[in-house]
Chain A
Amino acid sequence: MTLSIWDNVLYMPGDVIAAWILMLLIGPILLLWLFKTKKWPIVWEYMRTTNHRKIGTMNVLFGFLFFLRGGVDALLMRTQLAVPENNFWLFQGDKYNEVFSTHGTMMIFFAAMPLLIGLMNIVVPLQIGAGDLAFPFLNAVSFWMFLAGGMLFNMAFFLDSSPNAGWTAYTPLSTDTYTQTEGNDYYIFALQVSGLGTTLTAVNMIVTILRHRAPGMKLNRMPLFPWATLVTSFLILVAFPVLTIALSLLMFDRLFDTSFFSGEAGNPVYWQHLFWIFGHPEVYILALPAFGIFSDVISTFSRKKVFGYTAMVLSLCLIGFLGFMVWAHHMFTVGLGPMANTFFAITTMMIAIPTGIKVFNWLFTMRNGVVRFTVPMLFALAFIPTFVMGGVTGVMLSVAAADMQFHDTHFVVAHFHYTIIGSTILGIFAGIYYWYPKITGRLLDRRLGLWHLGLFITGFHLTFFIMHITGLNGMPRRTYTYQWGENLFVFNFISTIGAFLMGVGMAVFVWNIIRTWRSGNHAEADPWQGRTLEWSVPSPSPEHPFTQMPVIDQRDAFWYAKQEKRRLLIQKQPRPSPIAVKTIQPLCIGLILLLLSLAMIYQWWILAVLSSVLVLAMFLLRTWRDERIKTIREEVTDE
């Protein structure tokens, strides 16, 4: 659509205009609703909070919004692919490239990551008996950095400059020689800002888990979700800095005329190495926390302790470790030579071993257990076969010779959706249903939950199982059309129906949340007869959950104490909790970084310098008004 504004002719694609209109409708309605229901104090409270549950809730909330946006992108793609030689709206050619690039980036960085980090934030401190995360202020900074990145990434779409080089942004396509618009600059800065936030979260999680456990909770008494969080945090620690530098180098290529990845002297394969040294651990960063959630859920709803606890922990560590030695299996077709391909094929196959151990241990946890088919448990049950299928196709793909055939086809698309949706997304749903009482104090509706589960799982297998077949028939990924007579039509059509079923499932989930919020059952402290410490505190969890610090004498201590009808011993003088503050500074840091990113993207150098100075000023403000000045003074006068 072209608009003529005075003398300028402005081109805007129809989908962007539609999105603007939608936003201009929703925005005022939302504001009006906030005014009418007098919600501003709550909004202001959340803007200044450093409490782990509140920050975690915001992570989940915005992660879910971005998840819906990524889902809409998926539906647009599936509609375009429904029939051969289709011309749906304007999603062909470069527009299609933008949609799949946005979908991938959005889902990985702005949906899956914050949803998992949100659950970690809410649950991990409660499970290990910590008052809060070790650095509450830093935690708030991490969240606002994620949100700044997410907003930036969405702004790109509204300004009609979505990135279009795939979520992997392979060079030289993503350099300014081939994609001149700002799209991939938005990609760089959105990932940079939110990635730094994620790195800081990892630092926070490690210190919390290593130093803030309840007395008696040795590492080998910790539930498996904190364990998974710990291993994941170490993966983030190593993987994300690599991405940070890779993105910086790409930024220098795009904005400052270097030629690391393109031109005669450049080396495009170096980008692939850097990206996948980050990217493959990232896959396990997404999967391991979900494994942790499933371990807790399966154990709770089988009324049994986790089978083979030590093996579970060791395989988490082993998967994490091997995760760094497999990155080149994404690059089998690059031509690294038979030695490299063999090495990476074998390490990739080896990952199946610890993963297999985990699958069997989940099955053995259920064996002879008193299994209750609650919604989170059903999600866990759906996860096991789904993920095993993803694992099996993974082993198929790891055969370097066969990968020449599979590479860049819908077979790969099927594989990674089976693993990522199978583990991460199902894990997140299981976690949300399971811990919803701890977040909001209410239980989600079971009947609607079953509908959500049924529609989502059916739709999922319809969509993606078929893609194995179309992939083997040679349908390439990231291509917006195909021909009649290629034996692809029926498969693709079914796939599209499946995608819309998943969409309906999500609508049911949203309805479930709205209904529960309006008239849900209030949950007691321990609605599931849980085994771990988070169920010993009220629902929703209070700001200072462990005013009486329990002493942990064994694994699942809370459960065994309940069984023996005794209370856990109380430690009189626990270690000090982190200091909670209310401050607007983290939000300001997020805003300033957003401004800085925009200045860099559009090369407004004066604004860039100004906002960099502001960032430094925020450091100064922080150290100058350190909340510990006050607390230490109070402590001294107490003595």
Chain B
Amino acid sequence: MSKQVQALFLDKKMGFFIYLIVEGIMFAVLFATYIVYTPSYSGPKPQDVYSVPSVLLASVCLLSSSATLLLAEKGLSSRSMLFIRSGMAATFSLGAIFLFLEINEYYSYATEGYTFTANNFLSSFYILTGLHAVHVLFGLLWMVVLTLQSFRHLPYALYLEKQKIFHYYWHFVDVVWLFIICVVYIPYIV
């Protein structure tokens, strides 16, 4: 990477990190909302709603997807497209499984009568985890676009940049999930 390209990349990196702070604050407010309204005075209690196996499986998938992404990162530094693509493919599959499990979880809750408007605990739960799920979905789409981009003949420096920015994003989404486990689930299932 030449000095010129490097400088513009560092701009972008700093900008993106600041943007992640913004996202972090948004999630923080939603965490606060969840804490304020949970447990609610009436309606379903979190202890009755959460199902441990599904949350556990989803967490394993999402957290290990951060590890598989490191594989792609390794490929970036050695310019090995094979590593990059296989790392991305593994991350994509794990993310997709997570999203499937998440939707499945919502569906089973809803069929048990724990719907979005049942009480404020559930509303804040769905909004918080829903915003996170939307981030995962956006990340999945992003991975598709990145993979398509890898078949165009982009300058490698630029492709590297686009990959790196995505990596920051994906790790951030993972960290948010860690907080969700600690704040949303653990106090009520342990």
Interface residues of A in 191-232 (CB under 8 A from B): 199, 203-204, 206-207, 210-212
Which one of B9-17, B49-57, B76-84, B170-178 contacts A? B9-17
Main DSSP-derived SS at the B contact region: helix
Which of B26-34, B63-71, B97-105, B182-190 lies at the binding interface? B26-34
Whether B19 pairs with A203 at a CB distance below 8 angstroms is: yes
- Which residue of chain A has its CB nearest to the CB of B122? A258
In the bound complex, residues from chain A placing their C-beta under 8 Å from that of B149 are 623-624
B19:A620 contact, CB within 8 angstroms: no
> Contacts A135-B15, A575-B7, A629-B154 given: A246-B120 contact, CB under 8 Å?
no
CA distance A204 to B18 in the complex (A): 9
Instruction: Across the interface, name the chain B residue whose C-beta is closest to A266.
Output: B120
Is the beta-carbon distance between B155 and A629 smaller than 8 angstroms?
yes
A248 touches B22 (CB 8 A): no
With an 8 A cutoff between CB atoms, is A584 at the interface? no
Most buried by B among A204, A265, A266, A636: A265
Q: What's the Cα separation between A242 and B22 when bound, in Å?
A: 9
Partner of A210, one of B14, B21, B37, B154: B14
- B40 proximal to A (CB < 8 A): yes
- Bound CA–CA A248/B33 (angstroms): 12
B151 beta carbon closer than 8 Å to chain A:
no
A635 touches B4 (CB 8 A): yes
The stretch that binds B, out of A164-172, A249-257, A445-453, is A249-257
> Which residues 85-110 of A have a CB within 8 angstroms of B?
none
- Chain B residues with Cβ under 8 A from A632's Cβ? 5, 155, 157-158
| In the complex with contacts A623-B145, A633-B155, A257-B120 CB distance below 8 A | no
A544 sits at the interface (CB 8 A): no
Indicate whether B127 reaches chain A with its CB closer than 8 angstroms. Answer: yes
A203, B127: Cβ atoms closer than 8 Å: no
Please pick, from B2, B41, B141, the residue contacting A616 in the complex, using a CB distance under 8 A: B141
Q: Does B93 contact A (CB under 8 A)?
A: no
A to B contact number (C-beta, < 8 Å): 105
Q: A134-B11, A207-B14 are in contact. Are A265 and B119 (CB under 8 A)?
A: yes
Let me know if B4 and A576 touch, CB within 8 A: yes
Determine if A242 and B40 form an interchain contact, defined as CB atoms under 8 angstroms apart: no
A252 lies within 8 A of B18 (CB) = no
| Number of residues on chain B facing chain A (CB within 8 A) | 41
- Selected contact of A258 from candidates B4, B5, B21, B117, CB within 8 Å: B117
A357 interface hit (Cβ, 8 Å): no
Q: How far is the CB of A207 from chain B (nearest CB, A)?
A: 5
Q: Which residues of B contact A579 (CB under 8 A)?
A: 8
B25 touches A238 (CB 8 A): yes
A245 within 8 A of B: yes
Q: Which residues of B contact A575 (CB under 8 A)?
A: 7
Least CB distance, B154 to chain A, in whole angstroms: 6
Which of A199, A259, A628 meets B8, CB within 8 Å? Answer: A628
A623-B149, A635-B4 known; A245 vs B26 contact (CB < 8 Å)? yes
A52 to chain B, nearest CB (A): 15
- The answer to whether the Cβ of A59 comes within 8 Å of any Cβ in the partner chain is no
Complex Cα distance, B119 from A257, in Å, reads: 10
What A residues does B30 contact at CB under 8 A? 245
Question: In this assembly, does A84 line the interface, its C-beta being within 8 Å of a C-beta of chain B?
Answer: no
A265 contacts B14, C-beta separation under 8 Å = no
Of residues 126 through 153 on chain A, the ones whose CB sits less than 8 Å from some CB of chain B are 134-135, 138
B33 — nearest CB in chain A belongs to which residue?
A249
Residues of A within 8 A of B (CB): 134-135, 138, 199, 203-204, 206-207, 210-212, 237-238, 240-242, 244-246, 248-249, 252, 256-260, 264-267, 270, 274, 575-576, 578-579, 616, 620, 623-624, 626, 628-629, 632-633, 635-636, 639
The 8 listed contacts between A and B (C-beta, < 8 Å) are A242-B25, A244-B26, A245-B30, A270-B33, A274-B29, A628-B158, A635-B5, A639-B2
